[in-house]
Amino acid sequence: MTLSSPDSIHSGSTSKATRPGRAVARPPEAEAPPAPGVASITQLANKLAEYLTPVELKRVKEAYRFSDEMHLGQVRKSGEPYISHPIAVAEICADWKLDAQAIMAALLHDVIEDQDVKKEELIERFGAPVANLVDGLSKLEKIEFQSVVEAQAENFRKMLLAMASDVRVILIKLADRLHNMRTLGVMAPAKKRRIAGETMEVYVPIAHRLGLNDIYRELQDLSFSHLYPLRYQTLSKAIKAARGNRREVVKKILDAVKNQLAAAGIAAEVYGREKTLFGIYKKMRNKHLSFSQVLDVYGFRVVVDSIPNCYVALGTLHALYKPMPGKFKDYIAIRKINGYQSLHTTLIGPYGTPVEFQIRTQEMHRTAESGVAAHWLYKTGDQNMSDLQQRTHAWLQSLLDIQQQTGDSAEFLEHVKVDLFPDSVYVFTPKSKIIALPRGATPLDFAYSIHTGIGDHTVGVKINHEPALLRTELHNGDIVEIETDPDSRPSPTWLSFVRTGKARSAIRHYLRTINLNESVELGQELLAQALAQLGIRTELAPVTIERLLAESSAKSMDELYADIGIGKRMPALVARHIFGMLDADVDVQPAQPSGGGGAELDPVTIYGSEGVAVQLAPCCLPIPGDQIIGQLRRDQGLVVHTADCSQAKRLRAKEPDRWIAVQWGGELNRRFDCRIRLLINNEKGILARVAAEIGESDANITYVGMDEDDEAMMTQLRFTIQVKDRVHLAHLIRNLRRVAGVNRVERERA
């Protein structure tokens, strides 16, 4: 995924060279009447006057005049003056009743990026808080990145980290993205699809995570309309046609519910709502339904004055219409991760139609529609923070934790996106505290969500008081108890099943730091091999090293070597970068090729006990004597496969540049895991005879499994054993074949 430049998708047609620059802005009274639907400063000022003081309103108008001056002569793709965009963004923020500083930042959000206004000037004119907000919203200055993906990921990282220190950054950013999406129609189809895809993938989940449901739903539908315009138009027409047919049903339900609640003495607001187009489309796609089969296009909302009356209203509705089994959810007792609270129930309405009801209080309704914007916080130390504020603050702080453990922008973005999925499971600590985790989370994710130290030292888990595997998927209501050992450390295999960004980044951080020396040595060897292939000496002059570090953003050569050793950087790409510096750096001299055919490469030597930087692939379990090949995997270092491993062949076809030549070392003073499979007669004592022969052949058994069909004449035994090398394995297999009752013995391959 690449992140586009959302703030400039409608950048004006007047170039910076011809733009009038810092001319005197037109006075407010000279403002031209806005086109229909175009935001104006008058409308904004009227809206702000409802809750800002005259002094604050004056400061906002000063920010408007400065922004108007900076954007003077700049127009959008639609032909409107560019200043209409910042005003529209400020209006959306005003709907959330954001403070004067946030409104000023919304008006100024493009002046650093588009007009080369310095942050220092904004500090002098409008104060540091406003300047910091604008800086957090602005993209990075033009730095050379290795790819567009890396540049855009870095921009997104900067925005999220600014958001972690002040949530107003993301509120303004979402308002900016919303207005851009509302006016996306003038863009080329390819650009519309790209921006809509980015919005659906990143900004929609953020809006949901912060509980901004109005923005969440509108961004979803706008993205849907640009990603799949034909589907959107077809579905839109179908819903318009259905409205007439279903109007009578909706009125009948509304009247019945209002009368029933009034008879029960419950004061309530009741209204129907049509589900979003994207919500209907997603249900059709996920459940393979036609539009006519989606019966619950309409939902109903009941808003009451207290939590007890929510439950009384629920009982009243269940007395009116029969509830559907399994279709009740209590998000009041256990609220969603974004603070959302309501009772959800689906009832069988008139004509057998399923009807969904949401029952909530007025306070819950405000939170459901505006989320963190309804109770947003400026200071992290406020003693009166609501539960929603505390949850939001904890999530924003977790972004800073991930950033500290992650040096790579693309990796940071990957971790954050993992945590943005809206589906959650709710589990309990042994002391009954509720922990919300993404669907598919494991006990390790639970452990890391409590504290990194607990996750790092986890050795076991009990789920509902029963021992379980660390990779077990957690479900709603599970009681999770983590067992720790101070001597335990994270394993690289954990990365294959943890679900949350915090757990993944913490494990990778540990693997990077604890095995630094090993990674440095491996990286040095890999880079030397890649340089030799290009005929370049490995001894680089200080001036070349200095330039290489500057252009690779590494602090030292050891850091660069470590990045190569853990697979974060490709040695071939680093070597080619050095080769490209030959013209400028005369000190990098080509090595003399041997034999006239280019430098001969020595394979990387494997001893089998290297640890984390070098791992033996679990799919094929290579042992000394096997032909082997190495794969550089991101943050897992060098993974060694047998040359005939079927999984390795598939992976090599996809990424051939990540594979290097490796060979076994001479002194291997350890044993290696290997899998064997036996076809045996199903008779008494056979397992004992096989196990005894394995022991007499000087091999260790680490795992044994067998088919459970007691009536079969023959069955399969599977062993994981430890042997010295391929010769030792061959000797063991010969001995096993002589055991009475054993029909076949073979090594199990991937």
Is residue 353 within 8 Å of residue 256, measured between CB atoms?
A: no
List Cβ neighbours of 445 (8 Å cut-off, separation of 6 or more). 437, 438, 474, 498, 499, 500, 502, 503
**Crossing angle (nearest 10°) for helices 409-418 and 148-165:** 60
Distance separating alpha carbons of residues 274 and 299, to the nearest angstrom? 6
- Per-residue buried b or exposed e for 427-445, using 16+ beta carbons within 10 Å of the residue's own CB: bbeeeeeebbbbebbbbbb
Phi, psi of 503 (to 5 degrees): -65, -45
* Residues in Cβ contact with 260 at an 8 Å cutoff, skipping those fewer than 6 apart: 316, 317, 319, 320
How large is the angle between the packed helices 168-182 and 84-95, nearest 10 degrees?
A: 120
Query: Among the options 68, 113, 411, 478, which is catalytic?
Result: 113
Contact 596, 535 (CB under 8 A): no
DSSP states of 578-607: HHHTTTT-TT-PBPPPSTTS-PPPPPEEE-
Sign for the pseudo-dihedral over CA of 565, 568, 569, 572: positive
For the record, the structure tokens of 658 come out as: 């990540």
What is the distance between the terminal CA atoms of the chain, rounded to a whole angstrom? 32
From the list 7, 91, 110, 114, the catalytic residue is 114
Amino acid residing at 544:
T
* Dihedral sign of CA atoms 437, 440, 443, 448 in order: negative
* CA torsion through residues 695, 697, 699, 704, sign: negative
Q: Please say whether the beta carbons of 10 and 180 come within 8 A.
A: yes
Euclidean distance between CA atoms 408 and 498, whole angstroms: 19
Q: Which residues contact 182 (CB under 8 A, 6 or more apart)?
A: 222
What does the alpha-carbon distance between residue 219 and residue 92 come to, in Å, rounded to a whole number? 14
What are the start-end ranges of the E strands in 412-479? 424-428, 434-438, 458-463, 466-468
Measured distance CA(519)–CA(214) in Å, rounded: 48
DSSP string, 539-560: ---HHHHHHHHHHHT-SSHHHH
What is the side-by-side strand order in the sheet with 714-723? 700-706, 714-723, 672-681, 742-747
CB 333 within 8 A of CB 301: no
Alpha carbon of 214 to those of 6, 261, 315, 717: distances in Å? 20, 27, 29, 59
Is 563 part of the annotated catalytic residue set? no
Alpha-carbon 75 to chain mean position = 35
Q: Is 113 a catalytic residue?
A: yes
Q: How far apart are CA 562 and CA 513, in angstroms?
A: 9
Going by DSSP bridges, is the β-strand pair 672-681/714-723 parallel, antiparallel, or unpaired? antiparallel
What amino acid occupies position 449?
S
Give catalytic residues, as residue numbers. 113-114
